[in-house]
């Protein structure tokens, strides 16, 4: 079943992509939730026209995302956490990294940050998706909180 995505769907595609999925997934989940619509020939023509109009507007968004990526790369990020030895009491997640970026003046939603769950001190790297074409590799360090 061919569908046109109305919004980004994780592990499937981005908004305005034409994707092929199994019939049940499309009919029972994507279409009723409002995530997609059927890719009929007329819907494809409308999509092509909309994409033409968005093309040069999109370039400005990409340039803005690259500017934000450069600003984030300039930051040296260190997360402090309580630790016993090199193990953390608790863990560091996407939410903690989003809060740290917000404190440094870069507001990024936690769903666009992918670092996994970190349970030890050390240097790590997270993937931050600012735009479908601008994905940033963000290095950071987890250090022990001083008593």
CATH number of the domain at 77, please: 3.10.430.100
pLDDT tens profile 64-118: 889 989 998 888 999 999 998 889 999 999 999 999 999 988 889 988 999 889 9
Q: Is 50 helix (H, G, I), strand (E, B) or coil?
A: helix
- Domain that includes residue 15, residue range: 2-56
The predicted pLDDT at position 51 comes to 87
Query: How many distinct structural domains can be found in the chain?
Result: 2
* 52 and 74 assigned to the same domain: no
If you compute the radius of gyration of the chain from its CA atoms, what whole number of angstroms results? 20
Quote the tokens at residue 95.
Answer: 């939410």
Tokens of 51: 């994409």
Partners of residue 36 on adjacent β-strands: 5
- What was the pLDDT predicted at 38? 95
Residues 96, 114: Cα–Cα separation, whole Å? 11
- State the pLDDT at residue 47: 92
The whole-model pTM stands at: 0.64
Assess if residue 64 is contained within a domain. no
**pLDDT of 147 above 70:** no
Q: Which residues contact 106 (CB under 8 A, 6 or more apart)?
A: 68, 71, 72, 75
pLDDT, position 133? 86
Taking 90 as the threshold, does the pLDDT of residue 31 lie above it?
yes
104 located within any domain: yes
Handedness of CA 26, 11, 133, 73 (dihedral sign): positive
- What residue spans of 26-40 are helical by DSSP H? 31-33
Is 61 inside any structural domain? no
């Amino acid at each position: 079943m061919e569908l046109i995505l109305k919004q980004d769907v994780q592990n499937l595609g981005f908004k305005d992509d034409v994707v092929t999925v199994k019939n049940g997934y499309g009919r029972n989940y994507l279409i009723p939730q409002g995530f997609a619509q059927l890719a009929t020939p007329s819907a494809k023509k409308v999509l092509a026209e909309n994409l033409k109009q968005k093309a040069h507007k999109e370039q400005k968004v990409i340039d803005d995302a690259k500017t934000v990526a450069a600003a984030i790369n300039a930051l040296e990020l260190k997360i402090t956490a309580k630790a016993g030895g090199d193990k953390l009491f608790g863990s560091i997640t996407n939410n903690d990294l989003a809060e740290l970026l917000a404190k440094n003046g870069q507001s990024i939603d936690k769903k666009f940050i992918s670092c996994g769950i970190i349970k030890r001190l050390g240097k790590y790297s997270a993937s931050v998706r600012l735009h479908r074409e601008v994905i940033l590799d963000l290095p950071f360090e987890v250090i022990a909180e001083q008593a």
